[in-house]
Chains A and B, each alone.
Chain A
Amino acid sequence: MSSQENNNSRQPSQQPQQHVPPPPPPRQPAQLTFQDIPVSALEKLRPSLNQLTHSLRAFNDSFISTPVPPPSASLPLSGSSSYNKTNTGTSTPNGNRSDMRVDLPNYNNLQNQFNVILSQLESLVRTLDASRSVLQSTNVFPNYEFNTTQFEGLLTTLLRKKHLPEVDAWIDESIAITTATTSAGGEDGSDGGQMSEQAKEQARVNANRVVNADDEFSQECFQIVQEKLAEFIFGGYLTKEEIEKGMKITEFGNAGFNKKKILERSKNPVTELSSSDVYQFISQGRDAKLGGV
Chain B
Amino acid sequence: MVQQLSLVSSIPKSQYKVLMLCLESYTGMNPHPLRQHTVILKPKYPFTPEMAAGKVNQIESYRIRMTRVWDNPNGFSSNLKSSSEQQQNQVKTEPSSDSTSTSATTSGDTDNSKPSPSSKQGLKGEPILDTFPPGTESTRNSSIWTLQLSDIPAGGKRTVSIQNIYETTIYETDDIMGYVDELGYTPDIEFWNNGVRFYYNDIVIEVFRLYVHSRGGHGQQAGGGVGNGNVNGVHQVSLRLLDGSENYQVKCFVNVSKLNDLENVARGAKQLENLKNDLSGLLNLDVPDRISLDSRVNSRIVAGNINKK
* Residues of A near any B CB (own CB < 8 A): 234, 237, 249, 251-253, 255-257, 268, 270-290, 292-293
- Whether A272 and B243, one on each chain, are in contact in the complex, defined by CB atoms closer than 8 angstroms, is yes
Smallest CB-CB separation from B24: which chain A residue? Answer: A237
Pairs A–B under 8 Å by Cβ, sample size 10: A237-B21, A255-B88, A276-B289, A278-B210, A278-B243, A282-B38, A282-B65, A284-B292, A284-B302, A286-B189
Smallest CB-CB separation from B193: which chain A residue? Answer: A282
Which chain B residues border A293 with CB–CB below 8 Å? 189, 191, 212, 216-217, 242
| Number of B interface residues in the complex (CB < 8 A) | 48
Which chain B residues border A289 with CB–CB below 8 Å? 306, 309
Extra inter-chain contacts (14) besides given A275-B249, A280-B291, A293-B242, CB under 8 Å? A257-B14, A270-B244, A273-B243, A275-B10, A275-B288, A277-B292, A279-B288, A281-B210, A281-B242, A282-B65, A285-B40, A286-B189, A287-B302, A293-B212
Shortest beta-carbon distance, A233 to chain B, in Å? Answer: 12
Shortest beta-carbon distance, B18 to chain A, in Å? Answer: 7
B25 within 8 A of A: yes
Q: 7 tightest CB-CB pairs across the interface, nearest first?
A: A256-B14, A270-B244, A285-B40, A276-B289, A272-B245, A280-B292, A292-B217
| Contact A283/B295 with A256-B14, A271-B245, A293-B216 known, Cβ cut-off 8 Å | yes
Instruction: Give the complex CA separation of A286 and B242 in angstroms.
Output: 13
Shortest beta-carbon distance, A284 to chain B, in Å? Answer: 6
- Whether A285 and B188, one on each chain, are in contact in the complex, defined by CB atoms closer than 8 angstroms, is yes
Instruction: Give the complex CA separation of A121 and B184 in angstroms.
Output: 77
- Whether B12 and A256, one on each chain, are in contact in the complex, defined by CB atoms closer than 8 angstroms, is yes
Shortest beta-carbon distance, A282 to chain B, in Å? Answer: 7
B29 within 8 A of A: no
Shortest beta-carbon distance, B208 to chain A, in Å? Answer: 10
Instruction: Give the complex CA separation of A251 and B212 in angstroms.
Output: 29
* Residues of B near any A CB (own CB < 8 A): 8-10, 12-18, 21, 25, 38, 40, 42, 63, 65, 88, 94-97, 150, 188-189, 191, 210, 212, 216-218, 242-245, 247, 249, 286, 288-289, 291-295, 302, 306, 309
Instruction: Give the complex CA separation of A249 and B302 in angstroms.
Output: 45
- Whether A281 and B14, one on each chain, are in contact in the complex, defined by CB atoms closer than 8 angstroms, is no
Which chain B residues border A284 with CB–CB below 8 Å? 40, 63, 292, 294-295, 302
- Whether A286 and B288, one on each chain, are in contact in the complex, defined by CB atoms closer than 8 angstroms, is no
Interface of chain A: mostly helix, strand, loop or mixed: loop
Which chain B residues border A270 with CB–CB below 8 Å? 94-96, 244-245
Shortest beta-carbon distance, B66 to chain A, in Å? Answer: 11
Smallest CB-CB separation from A253: which chain B residue? Answer: B14
- Whether A273 and B247, one on each chain, are in contact in the complex, defined by CB atoms closer than 8 angstroms, is yes
Which chain A residues border B17 with CB–CB below 8 Å? 251-252, 255
Shortest beta-carbon distance, A251 to chain B, in Å? Answer: 7
Smallest CB-CB separation from B62: which chain A residue? Answer: A283
| Contact A283/B88 with A255-B13, A293-B212 known, Cβ cut-off 8 Å | no
Which chain B residues border A276 with CB–CB below 8 Å? 288-289, 291-292
Shortest beta-carbon distance, B140 to chain A, in Å? Answer: 18
Instruction: Give the complex CA separation of A160 and B218 in angstroms.
Output: 88
Instruction: Give the complex CA separation of A255 and B16 in angstroms.
Output: 9
Smallest CB-CB separation from B245: which chain A residue? Answer: A272
- Whether A279 and B94, one on each chain, are in contact in the complex, defined by CB atoms closer than 8 angstroms, is no
| Contact A268/B302 with A255-B13, A284-B294, A292-B217 known, Cβ cut-off 8 Å | no
Which chain B residues border A278 with CB–CB below 8 Å? 10, 210, 242-243, 249
Instruction: Give the complex CA separation of A285 and B297 in angstroms.
Output: 10
Instruction: Give the complex CA separation of A60 and B191 in angstroms.
Output: 62
Which chain A residues border B217 with CB–CB below 8 Å? 292-293
- Whether B18 and A252, one on each chain, are in contact in the complex, defined by CB atoms closer than 8 angstroms, is yes
Shortest beta-carbon distance, B250 to chain A, in Å? Answer: 8
Instruction: Give the complex CA separation of A287 and B291 in angstroms.
Output: 13
Smallest CB-CB separation from B21: which chain A residue? Answer: A237
- Whether B13 and A279, one on each chain, are in contact in the complex, defined by CB atoms closer than 8 angstroms, is no
- Whether B292 and A279, one on each chain, are in contact in the complex, defined by CB atoms closer than 8 angstroms, is yes
Smallest CB-CB separation from A247: which chain B residue? Answer: B81
Shortest beta-carbon distance, A83 to chain B, in Å? Answer: 26
Instruction: Give the complex CA separation of A252 and B19 in angstroms.
Output: 11
Which chain A residues border B243 with CB–CB below 8 Å? 272-273, 277-278
- Whether B191 and A281, one on each chain, are in contact in the complex, defined by CB atoms closer than 8 angstroms, is yes
- Whether B13 and A256, one on each chain, are in contact in the complex, defined by CB atoms closer than 8 angstroms, is yes
Shortest beta-carbon distance, B241 to chain A, in Å? Answer: 9
Instruction: Give the complex CA separation of A279 and B210 in angstroms.
Output: 10
Instruction: Give the complex CA separation of A251 and B218 in angstroms.
Output: 36
- Whether A268 and B188, one on each chain, are in contact in the complex, defined by CB atoms closer than 8 angstroms, is no
Instruction: Give the complex CA separation of A289 and B289 in angstroms.
Output: 14
Shortest beta-carbon distance, B152 to chain A, in Å? Answer: 9
Instruction: Give the complex CA separation of A288 and B299 in angstroms.
Output: 11
Instruction: Give the complex CA separation of A290 and B268 in angstroms.
Output: 32
Residue of A234, A237, A283 near B294 (CB, 8 A) is A283
Which chain A residues border B247 with CB–CB below 8 Å? 272-273
